Structure 1
Amino acid sequence: MEQRTVRGGPGPHDAPGSADPPGQRHAADARRRIPRTDDLLRDPRLAAAADRLGAHRVKAAVRQAQERARAGGIPPERVPQHALDLLPGTASGLRPVINATGVLLHTNLGRAPLSAAARRAVREAAGPTDVELDLTTGLRARRGRSTLAALRARVPAAGAAHVVNNGAAALVLAATALAAGREIVVSRGEMVEIGDGFRLPDLLVSTGARLREVGTTNRTTPADYAAVTGPDTGFLLKVHPSNFRITGFTRSAEVADLTGLGVPVVVDIGSGLLAPHPALPEEPDAATQLRAGAALVTASGDKLLGGPQCGLLLGREDLVHALARHPLARALRVDKLTLAALEATLTGPPTPTARALTAGPAGLRARADRLAAALAADGIDVRPVGSTATVGGGGAPGVTLPSAAISLPEPYAAALRTGRTPVVGRLEAGRCLLDLRAVPAEDDDRLAEAVRSALTGAEGPTA
């Protein structure tokens, strides 16, 4: 019997489905080329990522890449690389950021960046350490003893030192141990809000102390303190006003004016400056306040000191010992990683914060010129400009620092912020400024590469 072939129908050697339109056949073929999950997980690059980030996270990225390929968003050959691109650099959700805002201690960016010495110390302390063990005797030892010795060495005027988990905690511990059920005398002009809605009066009252406000917003004299100080006074409190300044018809009592009233004087200097700094002549420091007669100074470690987040307590040995032995101290203590980072900050080379604070304007401008020239050669609309930086973190309110920046079109702000290496700048006069004072010089190449990577999203392809 004669066989007849129907025009357009499948021939004897056609694969099933070959009657589909060419576009559908191509899509089906592409889907069949998508690598299997188990094959992808054996890719050395993804296997290494699983060791670093965890198998569950890598598998999720693989499946997301496969789905993208099934939808036609990427060719099957791109699946392994796309999965890698979806993975974060670390197992933490925190992403490293280049701080080009011109604010040295940016609270939203974690304030002070740790020095290389402090970062190494943290890595070394991540495993078992002798944090509370004397290796010579095999007996329990004082927690953080070498860190406390380093802190005392930096502030010889302090009879003793203690460390808690942040600056507010230092003040809470002092109020709880010295004034619970008693009065804390404080000037009305120093009843500040310390950030994110936390107000000093609420913080202190939560400890069980009562506040006795004296003076007015702009003028408080030593006589105002003397008039209310008595047997029910736990201590007199002096607070650095942090983020604001009052100028004009003003007066405030100095520590030396208050030391003869028969009760401890506690000074919250806030920003963590341990000794006077020539660039910040009006910023209070721990050494000066202790020499003036302060019984106790509290401060933050992650501001001008340039260390990890922690709270410092420096002062009379009997007071510091009482605070360190208070039951609340256990709840506020710092971990071994903070102790390691703080000690390395105190004993190591200048911190990134210290270098940024003292960077010369001429050097900053030269860096801006070099970056702008290199990026302009790639067709980017960029120019070097003068800029003004600030300390931030509640330190040195009103102080400005001459700086330099590179200026880019405004759309770069969002493109850089959401890039693979996030860069946070600031908008000014319709341009995105990347201020270099808080950017270490060794990060200039990373900054330039981030700008190049953001080019397409910010300006579109160049001709």
Structure 2
Amino acid sequence: MEQRVAADPKDGSTPDAAGADARRRIPRTDAVLRDPRLLEAAGRLGTGRVKSAVHRAQQRAREGAVPPEAVADTAVALLPRSPVGLRPVINATGVLLHTNLGRAPLSAAARQAVRDAAGPTDVELDLGTGVRARRGRTALAALRAAVPAAPAVHLVNNGAAALVLAATALAAGREIVVGRGELVEIGDGFRLPDLLVSTGARLREVGTTNRTTVADYAEAVGPRTAFVLKVHPSNFRITGFTHAADVAELTDLGVPVVVDIGSGLLARHPLLPEEPDAHTQLTAGAALVTASGDKLLGGPQCGLLLGREDLIGALSRHPLARALRVDKLTLAALEATLTGPATPTDEALAADPAELTRRAERLAALLRADGADVRAVASEATVGGGGAPGVTLPSAALSLPERYATALRTGPVPVVGRLEAGRCLLDLRAVPEPDDAHLAEAVRSVEGRWAT
């Protein structure tokens, strides 16, 4: 028996014919790529990525998910906001130097310096003479000026690398004397003893977890000793029946004293009285101080080596120094950090709790007017990044229902807060005031998504 196919009541064609007609109307790739929005995107993201988005949009049209006329719009919607996977976020965790969020945010001066250094620069060229010059000389001069107690300075690509270079250049095949209470884990499962032993040095542990005296170090120092190492314990504190020999007590042992202060504080800070700083350790007699540049210094990720000229000279000329050197962008950002205005880290540390409360109350009032379940609350922030363990900083936060946490984190402008007592807190101490509008818009965006 002959089977008949019902006609489409809209245009009289069969369903198959209608589908084929729609597919014939899908625009060609080259035609879609001429869309001004996609031409602009190709300049930002690359032609390959834009063409891939067009192909995916055309496939959706073939499957009937979008009409042929919407291919260009769909391709634009499929494009990423940035050519890289890293996304800017608002740090509302209350942790000023959040390792998972890249630690110290760069200052406006440092960001501009990175942009200026992105093209060809005179990083190793003396423009006056036309001959090769010392790499990063102006950044090194800025670091030297920032730490007058350091006769010489050197840079590597992170804080752990600074300690590795020191151990490799000064102690390979020899001994490093270190207190047991300072054999710390530095994060992500990496442990200081493993790091040091990997350089070919041998560790000579002295004292106990909670008490190490000068006599313990003196008994261990011998002909095979390369240096005594002092390490600032990060992320924890030992209290109670404790004792740790200080640098000044160790300088008479006949070997260099190397101090890893970790957090990159160059001079004493009134809010962080127990945090070791480079100036104090050097004036107390440390031969070498190592630190990170992306923590309390507020700069890019790098490792600082500050100390005696003979030791810095040996480190800078060691073959490993080449593998650990920093690039021109880091040099530019560090110099601008050292010579420019206060960094975002400085500003967050110095934030006035009363002003933070005023900001939180103003934002809460605005958002409540829009129907959000939000209130301003007192909060406590921390330094983070291994700096100032146990120190809390009075702050203020927006308190929202817990369900906001995921929605804010996955929004168009990700906002990362913290969960506390069944609420999502957005702590303002690490949020620059100009970002308050973005924070409010992010909360409104969540409300809008739930409303629809």
Match of residue 167 from structure 2: 175
Q: Cα distance 1:283–1:9, how it changes in 2: closer, same or farther (>3 A)? A: closer
Q: Could you tell me which of 116, 119, 131 is aligned with 2:111?
A: 119
Q: Could you tell me which of 7, 11, 18 is aligned with 2:12?
A: 18
> What residue ranges of structure 2 are gaps of 5+ in the alignment?
none
Question: By how many angstroms is 1:455 displaced?
Answer: 2.2
> Contact 2:262/2:290 (CA < 8 Å) preserved in 1?
yes
> What residue ranges of structure 1 are gaps of 5+ in the alignment?
1-6
Q: Cα distance 1:10–1:277, how it changes in 2: closer, same or farther (>3 A)? A: closer
Match of residue 243 from structure 1: 235
Match of residue 461 from structure 1: 451
Distance in 2 separating the partners of 1:30 and 1:391: 59
The alignment's TM-score, normalised by the length of structure 1, stands at 0.92
DSSP-derived class of the 1:333 partner: coil
DSSP-derived class of the 2:212 partner: coil
2:365 is equivalent to residue 386 of structure 1 = no
**One-letter code aligned to 1:18:** G
2:291 is equivalent to residue 299 of structure 1 = yes
Distance in 2 separating the partners of 1:372 and 1:35: 49
> Contact 2:6/2:14 (CA < 8 Å) preserved in 1?
no
Q: Cα distance 1:257–1:411, how it changes in 2: closer, same or farther (>3 A)? A: same
Distance in 2 separating the partners of 1:237 and 1:50: 53
Match of residue 214 from structure 2: 222
Match of residue 102 from structure 1: 94
Question: By how many angstroms is 1:231 displaced?
Answer: 1.2
Distance in 2 separating the partners of 1:163 and 1:373: 48
Match of residue 342 from structure 1: 334
Match of residue 89 from structure 1: 81
Distance in 2 separating the partners of 1:121 and 1:390: 29
Question: By how many angstroms is 1:25 displaced?
Answer: 8.0
Match of residue 156 from structure 1: 148
Q: Cα distance 1:19–1:394, how it changes in 2: closer, same or farther (>3 A)? A: same
2:255 is equivalent to residue 263 of structure 1 = yes
Question: By how many angstroms is 1:446 displaced?
Answer: 1.4
DSSP-derived class of the 1:119 partner: helix
Distance in 2 separating the partners of 1:37 and 1:245: 62
Match of residue 205 from structure 2: 213
**One-letter code aligned to 2:14:** D
Distance in 1 separating the partners of 2:416 and 2:7: 60
2:259 is equivalent to residue 273 of structure 1 = no
Deviations 1:102-131 (A, max 9, x none): 111010111001111001000110111000
Within a 5 Å distance, the mapping from 1:369-380 to structure 2 comes to: 369-380=361-372
2:188 is equivalent to residue 196 of structure 1 = yes
> Contact 2:383/2:391 (CA < 8 Å) preserved in 1?
yes
DSSP-derived class of the 1:104 partner: coil
Q: Cα distance 1:456–1:63, how it changes in 2: closer, same or farther (>3 A)? A: farther
Match of residue 423 from structure 1: 415
Q: Could you tell me which of 21, 30, 35 is aligned with 1:38?
A: 30
> Contact 2:163/2:290 (CA < 8 Å) preserved in 1?
yes
Question: By how many angstroms is 1:450 displaced?
Answer: 1.7
DSSP-derived class of the 1:194 partner: strand
Distance in 2 separating the partners of 1:384 and 1:69: 48
Distance in 2 separating the partners of 1:410 and 1:27: 47
**One-letter code aligned to 2:137:** R
> Contact 2:53/2:79 (CA < 8 Å) preserved in 1?
yes
Question: By how many angstroms is 1:93 displaced?
Answer: 1.3
Q: Cα distance 1:8–1:126, how it changes in 2: closer, same or farther (>3 A)? A: closer
Distance in 2 separating the partners of 1:356 and 1:66: 48
Q: Could you tell me which of 305, 317, 330 is aligned with 2:322?
A: 330
Q: Cα distance 1:59–1:256, how it changes in 2: closer, same or farther (>3 A)? A: same
> Contact 1:185/1:211 (CA < 8 Å) preserved in 2?
yes
**One-letter code aligned to 2:94:** G
DSSP-derived class of the 1:350 partner: coil
Question: By how many angstroms is 1:38 displaced?
Answer: 2.3
Q: Cα distance 1:27–1:400, how it changes in 2: closer, same or farther (>3 A)? A: farther
> Contact 2:260/2:291 (CA < 8 Å) preserved in 1?
yes
Q: Cα distance 1:452–1:65, how it changes in 2: closer, same or farther (>3 A)? A: farther
Q: Cα distance 1:139–1:374, how it changes in 2: closer, same or farther (>3 A)? A: same
Q: Could you tell me which of 131, 150, 153 is aligned with 2:123?
A: 131
Residue range with higher mean Cα deviation, 250-259 or 415-424: 415-424
Match of residue 414 from structure 1: 406
> Contact 2:5/2:14 (CA < 8 Å) preserved in 1?
no
Distance in 2 separating the partners of 1:73 and 1:372: 41
Question: By how many angstroms is 1:385 displaced?
Answer: 1.4
**One-letter code aligned to 1:398:** G
Q: Cα distance 1:9–1:341, how it changes in 2: closer, same or farther (>3 A)? A: closer
> Contact 2:259/2:286 (CA < 8 Å) preserved in 1?
yes
Match of residue 4 from structure 1: none
Distance in 2 separating the partners of 1:196 and 1:10: 65
Q: Could you tell me which of 42, 45, 48 is aligned with 1:50?
A: 42
**One-letter code aligned to 2:389:** P
Question: By how many angstroms is 1:79 displaced?
Answer: 3.9
Q: Cα distance 1:144–1:326, how it changes in 2: closer, same or farther (>3 A)? A: same
Question: By how many angstroms is 1:349 displaced?
Answer: 0.4
Question: By how many angstroms is 1:29 displaced?
Answer: 6.8
Match of residue 3 from structure 1: none
Q: CA RMSD in A?
A: 2.2
Match of residue 64 from structure 1: 56
Deviations 1:157-189 (A, max 9, x none): 000000000000000000011111000000000
Match of residue 346 from structure 2: 354
Distance in 1 separating the partners of 2:60 and 2:448: 21
Question: By how many angstroms is 1:435 displaced?
Answer: 0.9
Distance in 1 separating the partners of 2:429 and 2:265: 19
Q: Could you tell me which of 304, 310, 317 is aligned with 2:309?
A: 317
DSSP-derived class of the 2:282 partner: helix
Question: By how many angstroms is 1:453 displaced?
Answer: 1.8
